[in-house]
Amino acid sequence: MSSISQARMYWRFISGLRTFLKEPVTPERSRQLIGQRLESRERNLLTLLKRAVYENRDSPYLRLLSLAGYEYADLERMVHSDGIEPTLRTLRKAGVYATIEEFKGKKDIIRGEKVFRFRQSDFDNPLVSRHIEASSGATRSAGTRTDYDFDFLTEGWACGDAVRFDAYGLTGVPLAMWIPIMPGSGPAWLLSLAKAGNTPVRWFSPVEKSGIQPSLRSRMATNYIVYAGKAFGARFPAPEYVAPGDAAVVARWMADTVRQSGACCLGTYTSLAVRVCQVARAEDIDINGTVFIVSGEPLTATKRSEIESAGAVPYPDYTFMEAGMVGFGCSNPNAVDEVHLAMDAVALVQYPRQVPHAGTSVDAFLFTTLLPSAPKILLNVESGDYGVVESRQCGCKLEELGFTQHVHTIRGFDKLSGEGVTFVGTDMVHIIEHLLPARFGGSSMDYQMVEEEDEKSRTRMTVRMSPDVGEVDEGEVIRTILGELGKGADGRRMMARVWSDAGTIRVLRAHPLMTERGKVLPLHIQKSQ
């Protein structure tokens, strides 16, 4: 983004912020809006495809649809006769989709003999303005930048916050965030919560500004949002640096808040929630009755047990920056990480695909955006996840909204996640197969990255390093990996710093694990049972 474009975005932000904050969305209004969008799902999808794809000659999907032989009238007929999800499955079979690496601009899109070259920005929604910027998971390039406008912060985030906080009985309950500053998602969620009438009273950031050495623009943007909000009457908290190893600071705040107010909620990453609960038990800090809204990595049975053992209740989010909130934790779940799909905002289908460097096949999630304010246009785009999708009656308040589709056992097939930080798998493949052998000796068969839970239920990235390599400085191995992951834009440095502070990477002198078929792969990502 050019300096002129940035200046224009900041001007639009300050110009629209007063109105945005002036009229919070209530749970009642949010339920009404969600109901209207559910009734008009088909119309919303067709309108979005017509305006953002068929009337946009630069759209990547226009090329794919043309190659597959689909005119707009064809899609209109299919959606009306078959429905959204069957139409999307038909399009996927015809080659109208984007893998996670194609969507992020890391690989050419190859369909038959045709080869297309697209940038990340080519998937931007041409119908929206830009008010605030955030970065999603890192890539071999600079990470995916996502620009939001106030309409999407209302429709795709705040409405969801309002209804789920009401469903969980958390409206008016003191809330804090333990989420990174810019270029992370903290500012976007801060604005969303304020719009939903649940402005956080504290903002803990696991990444310090001086620690990641962000650009002047990122530092100024964070301060700009906080102070602009205050100028318009919002009680925005300034971010306070609290490293993952200092979880006791957050635990004590939660305990004090419960004593004073009778309740407390913390929005954070799953592993950070586990850290709070573990330190609370270890230091006899009473956080009984608190609630965690957790995201960024899977809520496994072990992690849920750790949180509940401290007397707290976890509700999982399913969120990714390019689509906003796509799933809200069920109050009556059958699975530990079960969420209600935000069917008003996205459509979800599954399609089997091979994961080359993991030696397995999964039913990958493919998302399609339905909101005209969505920052990115998604049409059968992989999120890098797979899991179970089913319809059932659970009896919770979110089902009453019409969110009858449930998603659970959500796992990543082409990325590694820990402490709320995600790196796409090919980042690790490059490190394992090329960088480490060149730096420390041996071959690509002597190294492997394994995502696993350690004895403290924390997600760790274990580098299995064959004893045949010989004596090495394990600390230098970790520093080499973090240094490579942290190259590039602020988002990459921020995420590498989180892993460094949390001690996420460790080295194990052992031979790499084999798959059931006897293969040794750079990433050991097993299909969940």
Residues of the chain with pLDDT under 70: 1-11, 129-148, 208-220, 356-360, 414-427, 488-491, 514-521, 525-529
> Pairing between strand 324-329 and 339-341?
antiparallel
> What is the DSSP-derived secondary structure letter of residue 522?
S
d(CA 316, CA 200): 18
The answer to whether 374 touches 154, Cβ cutoff 8 Å, is: no
d(CA 494, CA 121): 22
Question: How many CB atoms neighbour CB 274 within 10 A?
Answer: 30
pTM reported for the whole predicted model: 0.81
Task: List the structure tokens of 447.
Answer: 């190294």
The whole-number pLDDT of residue 143 equals 43
**β partners of residue 116:** 109
Alpha carbon separation from 370 to 161, 164, 286, 379 (Å, rounded): 18, 20, 43, 9
421-524 is classed CATH 3.30.460 = no
HEC letters along 191-224: HHHHHCCCCCCEEEECCCHHHHCCCHHHHHHHHH
What does the pLDDT look like over 92-113, one tens digit per residue?
999 999 998 899 888 899 999 9
In terms of phi and psi (left: phi > 0; alpha: psi -120 to 50; beta: otherwise), the region of 331 is alpha
The whole-number pLDDT of residue 358 equals 57
What does the pLDDT look like over 436-486, one tens digit per residue?
989 999 887 788 888 888 887 778 888 999 998 989 999 999 999 888 888
**β partners of residue 448:** 464
Task: List the structure tokens of 81.
Answer: 């006769």
Closest residue by Cα to residue 132 from 88, 173, 69, 182: 182
- Helical segments of 196-321, H only: 209-212, 216-231, 247-261, 270-282, 301-308
The answer to whether 383 touches 341, Cβ cutoff 8 Å, is: no
Question: Which residues are CB-contacts of 6 (< 8 A; sequence separation ≥ 6)?
Answer: 217
The answer to whether 336 touches 300, Cβ cutoff 8 Å, is: yes
The answer to whether 68 touches 347, Cβ cutoff 8 Å, is: no
Domain boundaries, the chain: 3-123, 421-524
d(CA 339, CA 336): 9
The whole-number pLDDT of residue 139 equals 32
The whole-number pLDDT of residue 140 equals 28
Alpha carbon separation from 90 to 101, 291, 380, 503 (Å, rounded): 22, 42, 11, 45
Q: How many residues does the chain have?
A: 529
d(CA 60, CA 52): 11
